[in-house]
Amino acid sequence: MMVESASETIRSAPSGQNGVGSLSGQTDGSSGGATGTTASGTGRDMTTGADSNGEMSPAELLHFQQQQALQVARQFLLQQASGLSSPGNNDSKQSASAVQVPVSVAMMSPQMLTPQQMQQILSPPQLQALLQQQQALMLQQLQEYYKKQQEQLHLQLLTQQQAGKPQPKEALGNKQLAFQQQLLQMQQLQQQHLLNLQRQGLVSLQPNQASGPLQTLPQAAVCPTDLPQLWKGEGAPGQPAEDSVKQEGLDLTGTAATATSFAAPPKVSPPLSHHTLPNGQPTVLTSRRDSSSHEETPGSHPLYGHGECKWPGCETLCEDLGQFIKHLNTEHALDDRSTAQCRVQMQVVQQLEIQLAKESERLQAMMAHLHMRPSEPKPFSQPVTVSAADSFPDGLVHPPTSAAAPVTPLRPPGLGSASLHGGGPARRRSSDKFCSPISSELAQNHEFYKNADVRPPFTYASLIRQAILETPDRQLTLNEIYNWFTRMFAYFRRNTATWKNAVRHNLSLHKCFVRVENVKGAVWTVDEREYQKRRPPKMTGSPTLVKNMISGLSYGALNASYQAALAESSFPLLNSPGMLNPGSASSLLPLSHDDVGAPVEPLPSNGSSSPPRLSPPQYSHQVHVKEEPAEAEEDRQPGPPLGAPNPSASGPPEDRDLEEELPGEELS
């Protein structure tokens, strides 16, 4: 017990915590703190209560409205999701915890990523698509709500006017303003949210933004310019919302572009992350902040863009940052309104996250469904090559998957990533579960993991395997594996003792990892057969699995799963063309899709060499190697059957591939 507790603490304390904890905490806290309790979690009751009260202050109104709108959206979302959502835990948990934390997030262990991180993780295109959808939905709801509110206001106004009260007008005006603001805010907040996400990558709204803006900026309020818009919205019986939506769309686009560029955060810099933050997450956040702050200085600010103030409801033009800052301080001072706006923003974000989760789930289900029928010819046009190439090109890989496209607007490939979980242990087998698309996931989010101190959502085993398979030789020394980890994941640049131990432990423990004696020394190889053996059933088929995945995974994971699905689906094609991976083929072949990724390496060196990956059957032999003494293994390697001259040691790696690929001989 002692040990355990100790470890636990360590883990949670450092990394994770921040993640979820901060998230929910902040959410609640900030909202609660700022204004009142209500905001946070479950607003339903609150909302209702609010409703009953006739009059409230503008701030209250805003708040109330937000909640209502959110609730509506929430319900809507829930309904939508209900179909997909898994029966048990998720739903219940979700509802229970109330929106505060997105399902996936909630599910995540403390160390998991925060929503912000998730957002960061998501590829810009994905984010864009998702957010757009979400925004559209939310806007619709808001619109309705807004209309109702307006009607009420009018009624009130009339009543008051009739009464002959002088104040009423003002009050009404305020209320109207508030409503309008809200609408605008929602829209703009969303935009902003997107922007922030994209630009900063992660920017955590709650922690960072909330505190930041509130303190510094704040509010302002609606600029005169806003009013017109607001009114416009009102006035236009048609659909103000739509307009706004459109606008958002536009903005988004713009944003997206920005985001894209942003995609590869340079932040690699160790210094930033190093903060002693607890574990990875914090670091991440920190780094993010830094980055954001940097941006600010340099000439950009999350709330400043295109020469104007991006504060929700404010479009004041500012020539430069300095002016903008002044504007922020003067116009957006800390007050109820700004506070309310922030709260709204937070809720919006939450809502979006939830929706994102739902949509992801849906997508998963869709993918799973599609996948289920392998028989169907997969239309994917995915060029194998592409996939292979994608693997690690830059980090930004486009997913080819045309297939996905049809299914959803989102880009499959882009998925972003997943990993969200920042945390520690969390990763749980998610990756494994799906069989991962680890490779594709990695390929796509290569840059992300490389720079973000986020724990990858893959098990050590899958990571080790990936590392090995990426090599032309398909073999790595322990030290090389270590290097791969540190090179590929920022997360593994810390706590080396811990994860290295874990790596060694995994190598020894899993039969799928075979130690081969080499001239050079010992290298580790992967026995795909074994690896596959241990893997759980594919999610594709069973809804349950899917469900699990969804629930268990963080957003990232979701994405990963998504990718996986895609990958899997595309896999067949890949194979057929035969291109994928030359060298790797052997290992992969037999198995599976997950390996899709295997091919990750663009050139397995001889890629060509490997003829055709031919025989999967050969593979079978390797199997128990591990159990057997090194000898067996050695046999394999050293004795390269085919013509490989000197495989291992000095020999070219490529040759090795062949050898490895045909290990079967020995077995037989």
Instruction: Name the nearest CA neighbour of 337 among 452, 206, 179, 477.
Output: 179
Question: In this structure, what DSSP letter does residue 309 have?
Answer: E
By CB under 7 A, tell whether 534 contacts DNA: yes
Nearer to DNA, 380 or 492 (CB): 492
Among 75, 159, 297, 479, binds DNA (CB under 7 A): 479
Closest approach, Cβ 595 to DNA, in A, equals 15
For tokens 């067949």, what's the residue?
572
**x/- string (CB under 7 A) for DNA, residues 52-71?**
--------------------
Nearer to DNA, 314 or 545 (CB): 545
CA angle 281, 286, 292 (to 5 degrees): 130
Closest approach, Cβ 585 to DNA, in A, equals 23
By CB under 7 A, tell whether 179 contacts DNA: no
Among 332, 337, 362, 429, binds DNA (CB under 7 A): 429
Among 498, 609, 615, 620, binds DNA (CB under 7 A): 498
By CB under 7 A, tell whether 342 contacts DNA: no
Query: What are residue 522's DSSP bridge partners?
Result: 517
Nearer to DNA, 19 or 265 (CB): 19
Among 44, 274, 504, 511, binds DNA (CB under 7 A): 504
Report d(CA 258, CA 5) in Å as an integer: 44
Give how far Cα 393 sits from Cα of 194, 386, 491, Å.
Answer: 26, 10, 20
Token pair recorded at residue 624: 């128990």
Token pair recorded at residue 461: 């085993």
Helices (H), 510-661: 528-534, 543-552, 555-575, 585-588, 616-619, 630-636, 653-661
Binders of DNA among residues 435 to 464 (CB under 7 A) are 458-461
Among 11, 337, 421, 656, binds DNA (CB under 7 A): 11
For tokens 């509010």, what's the residue?
219
Among 63, 535, 593, 636, binds DNA (CB under 7 A): 535
By CB under 7 A, tell whether 482 contacts DNA: yes
Name residue 461's amino acid: A
Among 351, 548, 575, 592, binds DNA (CB under 7 A): 548
For tokens 């160790």, what's the residue?
270
Among 79, 297, 508, 650, binds DNA (CB under 7 A): 508
Question: In this structure, what DSSP letter does residue 378 have?
Answer: P
Nearer to DNA, 432 or 634 (CB): 432
Nearer to DNA, 220 or 438 (CB): 438
How many residues contact DNA, by CB under 7 A?
A: 49
Among 30, 292, 316, 551, binds DNA (CB under 7 A): 551
Give how far Cα 421 sits from Cα of 415, 465, 547, Å.
Answer: 15, 20, 18
- At residue 526, φ and ψ (nearest 5 deg) are -115, 135
By CB under 7 A, tell whether 507 contacts DNA: yes
Q: With beta carbons less than 8 A apart as the criterion, state whether 596 and 574 touch.
A: yes
Among 22, 119, 286, 506, binds DNA (CB under 7 A): 506
Question: In this structure, what DSSP letter does residue 663 have?
Answer: T
Report d(CA 299, CA 320) in Å as an integer: 8
Question: In this structure, what DSSP letter does residue 297 have?
Answer: T
Token pair recorded at residue 351: 């809502």
By CB under 7 A, tell whether 144 contacts DNA: no
Nearer to DNA, 194 or 545 (CB): 545
Closest approach, Cβ 553 to DNA, in A, equals 9
Closest approach, Cβ 271 to DNA, in A, equals 24
Closest approach, Cβ 491 to DNA, in A, equals 10
Closest approach, Cβ 111 to DNA, in A, equals 8
238-245 contacts: CB < 8 A, separation 24 or more?
239/143, 240/143, 240/146, 240/183, 241/139, 241/140, 241/142, 241/143, 241/146, 241/183, 242/139, 244/139, 244/183, 244/184, 244/187, 245/135, 245/136, 245/139, 245/187
By CB under 7 A, tell whether 496 contacts DNA: no
Q: Which stretch binds DNA (CB under 7 A): 148-156, 476-484, 603-611, 636-644?
A: 476-484
By CB under 7 A, tell whether 509 contacts DNA: yes
Query: What are residue 513's DSSP bridge partners?
Result: 526
- At residue 383, φ and ψ (nearest 5 deg) are -75, 135
Q: With beta carbons less than 8 A apart as the criterion, state whether 416 and 202 touch.
A: no
Task: Count CB neighbours of 228 within 10 A.
Answer: 12
Closest approach, Cβ 481 to DNA, in A, equals 8
By CB under 7 A, tell whether 227 contacts DNA: no
- The residue ranges that bind DNA (CB under 7 A) are 1, 3-4, 6-8, 10-11, 107, 109, 424-425, 427-429, 432, 458-461, 477-479, 482, 495, 498-499, 501-502, 504-510, 515, 521-522, 524, 534-536, 544-545, 547-548, 551-552
